[in-house]
C-alpha cells in the first residue's frame, strides 16, 4: 500500500519537529528515513502510524485520507526500537495478541490463531521458542518477535523505528540481510527510521534524508551518495573534505587549485565538497590539468584494513583534509608521515551561499563540477 504525506507540520511546545513535509512512498518499496537525531524522522513515522497527531497536513494510505483515523483502525505494523514486547506474556501470546484482542465477530478461532502464530515463528526463524518469555531471548530474537507480532495482524505496511539501533554490529548485519530477504518475500511496503547511513544505503530501495524537520533529499542510495542535493546531504553521507574558496570571472578558485565553473554567473565565496576517496595522491606533479593539483604534507597515516586513510595539510591554504586509497596503492607510493606529496582533486562539488538569504545555512545553489 502506498503512503502519501501531504504538507505535514508538527510542533511541540516550543520546538518544531516537522515543517511542511511532503513525501510519497510507492507500494512495495523498502524506504529509509535517514537523519541525525532531532531531525524529525521518528516523529514522521509516528504520525504515519497515528501515534501522534499533526497540526497541519494530511496522511493518505492508497489515496484514502487517514489523517484523523485512530491508531487502532489504521492497521499499521509498528516495531519499536526497544521492542516493547509484553514481558508477562510468552512469545506465542505476544505474537497472538493482535488477533486475540479482536472483537468476537472478526476474531479467528483458537486453531487458526495457533496456525498463524506458528507460521510466523517459522518466518522469523524462532520455532521452538513459543513458550519462552521475552526476557529469555537475545536482542536480535526479541526484535524478530516484535516483527512477527506486527505482521500477525496483516498490516497494510510496516513501520520500523530504529529497528536495529539497540543491537550489536554482527547481529545488526544479519538482521539487515534477513529483513531485505523478508521484504522480497512479502512484497510489503516497509518504512524504517535510522540514523546509520550505512544501514540506509545497504537496505533501502529509496532513502529519505531528513534534517531539522524537513526532507532534504529523496533518492536511491546511489543518487544521494553521488548526487547530493546540498551540503547537508553531502556531509551526512560518509566522510567529506571541505575547501573554502571563491568564484571569480567564471572560475572557481580553491587556493591554488582552479576549476572551470559552468553556471557561475556571479562572484563570491564558495565551498568545495569532495569525498576522501576522490583525492588522488602522487609523488610527482601530474602532467595534465596541473591547475587542479596542489601540494600537501602528510600529517598522519591510519591503516584501516583494506584501505589507508591519510590526513593531509595543504601547503597553500593550510586546510587539513583526508585522502583514502587502497592498501596496494599506499604501498606503491611508499610515503611516510611528514612527507610531501602532490594531490589532485577530483569530483569536487561547489556549493555557493546566496549572500543576502535570510537562512544562510539552508539556501545553496548546487554547482556540479566534474573534472
Partner 1 sequence: MKKLFSRRGFLPGFGMTMGYTIIYLSLLVLIPLSVLFLKASTLSWEQFVGTILDARVLASIRVSILTSFFAACVNAVFGVLVAWVLTRYQFPGKRIIDGIVDLPFALPTAVGGIALTSIYAENGWIGQYLAEWGIKVAYTPIGIWVALTFIGLPFVVRTVQPVLQDWDLQMEEAAATLGATRFHTFTRVILPHLLPAIITGFALAFARALGEYGSVVFISGNMPLKTEIVPLLIMTKLEQFDYAGATAIATVMLVASFVMLLMINYLQWRMNKFDAAR
Residues near partner 1, by CB under 8 A: 49-51, 71-78, 80, 82, 84-89, 97-98, 101-102, 132-136, 146, 149-150, 152-153
Nearer CB in complex with partner 1: 77/221 = 77
Shortest distance (Å) from residue 79 CB to partner 1 = 9
CB of 129 to partner 1, least distance (A): 13
Q: Distance (Å, rounded) from C-alpha 336 to C-alpha 301?
A: 8
> Cβ closer to partner 1: 148 or 341?
148
Nearer to partner 1, 52 or 256 (CB): 52
CA distance from start to end of the chain: 43
Closest separation between CB of residue 49 and partner 1, Å?
6
Q: Which is nearer to partner 1, 49 or 279 (CB)?
A: 49
CB of 157 to partner 1, least distance (A): 12
Q: Please say which residue, 7 or 86, places its beta carbon nearer to partner 1.
A: 86
Cell of 105: 465477530
**Residue among 195, 121, 183, 137 nearest 158 (CA):** 183
Q: Which residue has the cell 490463531?
A: 113
| Helix-helix angle 110-123:91-100, to 10 degrees | 130
Query: What is the Cα–Cα distance from 90 to 130, expressed in whole angstroms?
Result: 7
CB of 146 to partner 1, least distance (A): 8
The CA–CA distances, whole Å, from 76 to 3, 46, 71, 99, 159 equal: 11, 11, 8, 14, 7
Distance CA 134, CA 117 (A): 16
Amino acid at each position: 500500500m502506498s503512503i502519501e504525506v501531504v504538507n505535514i507540520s508538527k510542533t511541540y511546545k516550543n520546538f518544531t519537529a516537522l515543517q511542511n513535509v511532503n513525501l510519497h512512498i510507492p507500494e512495495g518499496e523498502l524506504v529509509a528515513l535517514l537523519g541525525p537525531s532531532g531531525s524529525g524522522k521518528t516523529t514522521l513515522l509516528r504520525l504515519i502510524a497515528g501515534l501522534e497527531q499533526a497540526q497541519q497536513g494530511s496522511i493518505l494510505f492508497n489515496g484514502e485520507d487517514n489523517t484523523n483515523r485512530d491508531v487502532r483502525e489504521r492497521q499499521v505494523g509498528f516495531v519499536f526500537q526497544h521492542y516493547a514486547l509484553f514481558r508477562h506474556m510468552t512469545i506465542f501470546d505476544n505474537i497472538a495478541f493482535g488477533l486475540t484482542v479482536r472483537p468476537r465477530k472478526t476474531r479467528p478461532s483458537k486453531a487458526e490463531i495457533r496456525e498463524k502464530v506458528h507460521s510466523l515463528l517459522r518466518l522469523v526463524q524462532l520455532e521452538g521458542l513459543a513458550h519462552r518469555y521475552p526476557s529469555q531471548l537475545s536482542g536480535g530474537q526479541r526484535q524478530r518477535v516484535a516483527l512477527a507480532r506486527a505482521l500477525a495482524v496483516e498490516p497494510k505496511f510496516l513501520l520500523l523505528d530504529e529497528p536495529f539501533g539497540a543491537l550489536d554490529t554482527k547481529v545488526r548485519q544479519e538482521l539487515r540481510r534477513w529483513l531485505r530477504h523478508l521484504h522480497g518475500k512479502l512484497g510489503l511496503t516497509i518504512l524504517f527510521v535510522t540514523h546509520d547511513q550505512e544501514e540506509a544505503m545497504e537496505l533501502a530501495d529509496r532513502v529519505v534524508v531528513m534534517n531539522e524537520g524537513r526532507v532534504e533529499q529523496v533518492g536511491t542510495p546511489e543518487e544521494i551518495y553521488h548526487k547530493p542535493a546540498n551540503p547537508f546531504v553531502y556531509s551526512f553521507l560518509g566522510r567529506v573534505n571541505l575547501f573554502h574558496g571563491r568564484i571569480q570571472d567564471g572560475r572557481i578558485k580553491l587556493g591554488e587549485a582552479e576549476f572551470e565553473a559552468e553556471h557561475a554567473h556571479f562572484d563570491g565565496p564558495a565551498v568545495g565538497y569532495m569525498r576522501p576517496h576522490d583525492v588522488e595522491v602522487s609523488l610527482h606533479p601530474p602532467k595534465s590539468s596541473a591547475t587542479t593539483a596542489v601540494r600537501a604534507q602528510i600529517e598522519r597515516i591510519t591503516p584501516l584494513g583494506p584501505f589507508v586513510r591519510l590526513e593531509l595539510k595543504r601547503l597553500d591554504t593550510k586546510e587539513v583534509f583526508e585522502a583514502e586509497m587502497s592498501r596496494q596503492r599506499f604501498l606503491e607510493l611508499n610515503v611516510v608521515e611528514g612527507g610531501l606529496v602532490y594531490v589532485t582533486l577530483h569530483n569536487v562539488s561547489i556549493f555557493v551561499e546566496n549572500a543576502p538569504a535570510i537562512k544562510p545555512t539552508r539556501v545553496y545553489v548546487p554547482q556540479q563540477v566534474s573534472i
